[in-house]
Amino acid sequence: MLTNEAYKPINCDDYDNLELACQNNWLLSLELKNGEKLSAKAKDMVSRKNVEYLAIDLAGEQRELRLDHIASFSHPKLGTVVVSESD
């Protein structure tokens, strides 16, 4: 996906669930809209130039995922969350 495309904020409930995952350093199963699947530890929520990111630890590698590029995420305490755009 292009990184210069317009950012589309995600639903507030989905954002709150990602914040909770970061606060607890939960290991999430993530699926991105490009089909990539990851299992990574949620570390922080980052906002830069009006774009929001989920900072993750992927086997010791630090990455930032644009929130609007995440299709779904899951954790036993959250279930599976299909990410939707904000209304």
| The predicted structure's pLDDT at residue 7 | 93
pLDDT band at 1 (very low <50, low <70, confident <90, very high): very low
Which residues, in sequence order, are bridge partners of residue 30? 38, 73
pTM here is 0.91
Q: Please write the tens of the pLDDT for every residue from 23-78.
A: 999 999 999 999 999 999 999 999 999 999 999 999 999 999 999 999 999 999 99
Please name the residue that has the structure tokens 């409930």: 13
- Is the per-residue pLDDT at 4 higher than 90? no
Which residues, in sequence order, are bridge partners of residue 45? 54
